[in-house]
Amino acid sequence: MGILEKIAEIEREISRTQKNKATEYHLGLLKAKLAKYRAQLLEPSKSSGAKGEGFDVMKSGDARVALIGFPSVGKSTFLSLMTSTESEAASYEFTTLTCIPGVIEYKGANIQLLDLPGIIEGAAQGKGRGRQVIAVARTADVVIMMLDATKGDVQRELLVKELESVGIRLNCPKPNIYFKPKKGGGLSYNSTVPLTHCSEKLVQLILHEYKIFNAEVLFREDSTPDEFIDVIVGNRVYMPCLYVYNKVDQISIEEVDRLAHRANSVVISCGMKLNLDFLLEQLWEYLALICLYTKKRGERPDFSDPIIMRRGASVEHVCHRIHRTLASQFKYALVWGTSTKYSPQRVGLTHIMEHEDVIQIVKK
């Protein structure tokens, strides 16, 4: 019996089982087995076949965004509109067969946009180059999920399910669970909040499924068995996702209004070039990027060449970005902008910078 058959059998068993207090241990055990088989499925096969065309693209620019969606939803049209790269677009499915990179220039930042081939149902099992597409998506900072507004919510649910089955968690924080395997001493189990989904017996059963008998487990929030399994496996990727509904010019205004008010969603039309500027603003927020400007002593700030950093970057991070030896020669910095109480403020290495601050660094 192959791994795919085992996965299908466990999924059938889960859907057949009623969810109540009596079956929660059984369900927890099935979910642990399912996660284990899916992890085996993602491992590359030992016998390497003939080398195909390269799929992954070298990371460049200040951030990386992956375009994911079913075939013929407008990914290639979107890439051609937003960047200077031409991606072949046609009215038939699977026009794009490999990963095509483009660069969006916005607020002084270079954002790498990857146009990936369309995903089909069963991509996680390797159908239609699904595994390579999902592997590239794991390396991105933000996922843009392109959806066809005329198809309703079917595509969104299917894609989220496909990505979850390969360990990509969209728009959800990392579970606040401390887990550390030990050499001996059995299971040390504790929680700082009352748990409604997990119990010590269930945690022990799940750990035994992974052949872990000695470990420290501390729950700092009321987590589900699925979240606990994610922590044990440890290779899950938590990333922000923007659901972009394309082709809104083909649906009613009430439906557009409903889609636009959903969480993490933006409605656009690539054909009529509607709402693309708002999408870029949202993307900038999700990437959490900030622009910083440098200033030499006695001169005006250089607004032509900004330094792009992540939100929450300190003066020390800025020093490392300019030159690796600068932090060791650092004396103090003068900062103008919203992060200071008054301008200019003299600050140290730990000062947190904000968007469009101006910095002048003084060396020893």
Q: Which of 83-97, 256-270, 279-293 has the lowest mean pLDDT?
A: 83-97
122: confidence class by pLDDT, cuts 50, 70, 90: low
- Please tell me the distance from the alpha carbon of residue 68 to that of residue 135, in angstroms, as a whole number: 12
344: confidence class by pLDDT, cuts 50, 70, 90: confident
Could you tell me how many residues make up the chain? 364
105-117, pLDDT tens digit by residue? 888 888 888 877 7
With 60 as the cut, is the pLDDT of residue 183 above it? yes
Torsion sign, CA atoms 134, 52, 7, 43:
negative
Average pLDDT over residues 79-106: 68
With 80 as the cut, is the pLDDT of residue 73 above it? no
Q: What is the pLDDT of residue 52?
A: 47
Q: Quick one: DSSP state of residue 45? A: P
Average pLDDT over residues 334-359: 89
Instruction: Supply the mean pLDDT for the chain.
Output: 80
Q: What is the pLDDT of residue 50?
A: 43
Helix (H) / strand (E) element for 108: namely none
Higher model confidence: residue 195 or residue 132? 195
268-306, pLDDT tens digit by residue? 888 888 888 888 888 888 888 888 898 888 888 888 888
Does this model's pTM top 0.85?
Answer: no
164: confidence class by pLDDT, cuts 50, 70, 90: confident
Average pLDDT over residues 174-178: 87
187-222, pLDDT tens digit by residue? 888 888 888 887 888 888 888 888 888 888 888 888
Q: What is the pLDDT of residue 48?
A: 46
19-72, pLDDT tens digit by residue? 766 677 777 778 787 777 777 666 655 544 444 455 667 777 788 888 888 777
